[in-house]
Amino acid sequence: MLTLLFTICMIWFIGKFFIFGLKASWGILKLLCTVVFFPMILIGMVVGGLVYIAFPLLLIGGIIGLIVSKS
C-alpha cells in the first residue's frame, strides 16, 4: 500500500516538473523568436531585396505591438 502511494506521488511530482519545463521552454522560445529570430529574418529579407514583403510585416508587427502594450 505504501509503495503504491509512493508511486502515485512520484508520478504526480514528475508530471508537475514536466509541465513546468514545458512552460519555461515555451517562454524562452517566445523571447528568442521576438528578440533574435524575427528581426534577423526581416534584415535578411531587406538585404535579399524583399523590402516589399519585409516592410508590411514590420508595420503589422509595430501596430500589434502598440495595441498589445496599451491594454
State the residue range of the domain holding 44.
2-70
What total number of domains does the chain contain? 1
Cα–Cα distance measured from residue 71 to residue 68, given in angstroms and rounded to the nearest whole number: 6
pLDDT value of residue 61: 82
Name residues whose C-beta falls within 8 Å of residue 46's C-beta, 6 or more positions apart in sequence: 54
pLDDT value of residue 15: 92
- pTM here? 0.53
Sign of CA pseudo-dihedral 10, 15, 16, 21: positive
- Angle, alpha carbons 58-50-48 (nearest 5°): 115
pLDDT value of residue 23: 93
Per-residue pLDDT of the chain (71 residues; tens, 9 = 90+): 778 888 988 999 999 999 999 999 998 988 888 888 888 888 888 888 888 888 888 888 888 888 887 75
Cα–Cα distance measured from residue 57 to residue 35, given in angstroms and rounded to the nearest whole number: 15
pLDDT value of residue 31: 86
